[in-house]
Amino acid sequence: MGAEQLVGSIQEVETHETDPTTEDAIDPWNTFQDEVGGLGARLKSTYEKVTAEGGPTEEEIKDAFGILMGAWDKMAESVTTALRDPEVRQRLKDAASSFASALGTTIAELGSELRDSTEWVPTSPGGPEEE
């Protein structure tokens, strides 16, 4: 097949949606992104309104960030120093393990509640069938 034939055949192909097997499926991550973007716009709008009514100056904001960054540096330094202690490291591992266990239990309970819900619709093969 020559280059002209290949180009001609590509131009004749009809376009379709990204995934033609779905009908108006809403991507939950796109929804989340839209919600966060809307929240960010609302916070910005509120901040601009508050600052227009006598909020801090740009210089005051820069000074506050400088103070926060200094505090952050000191906190990071203290955490780094503490993590050198074997006992602190073991307690951190224990706390992380407990957190993972609690999170796993919560997710399992949520999954169980979803399976038991009358509104639950299976999305994968092998799940409970709709009646």
Query: Cβ–Cβ contacts within 10 Å for residue 92, how many?
Result: 14
- Asked whether the beta carbons of 101 and 107 are under 8 A apart, the reply is no
Q: Does residue 81 surpass a pLDDT of 80? A: yes
Q: Would you state the pLDDT for residue 131? A: 45
| Distance of alpha carbon 71 from alpha carbon 99, whole angstroms | 27
Q: Would you state the pLDDT for residue 56? A: 78
Tens digit of pLDDT for each residue in 4-26?
555 555 555 555 556 555 566 78
* Residue that wins the pLDDT comparison between 104 and 9: 104
Q: Would you state the pLDDT for residue 7? A: 52
| Distance of alpha carbon 16 from alpha carbon 19, whole angstroms | 8
Q: Does residue 88 surpass a pLDDT of 60? A: yes
Q: Would you state the pLDDT for residue 69? A: 95
Q: Would you state the pLDDT for residue 90? A: 94
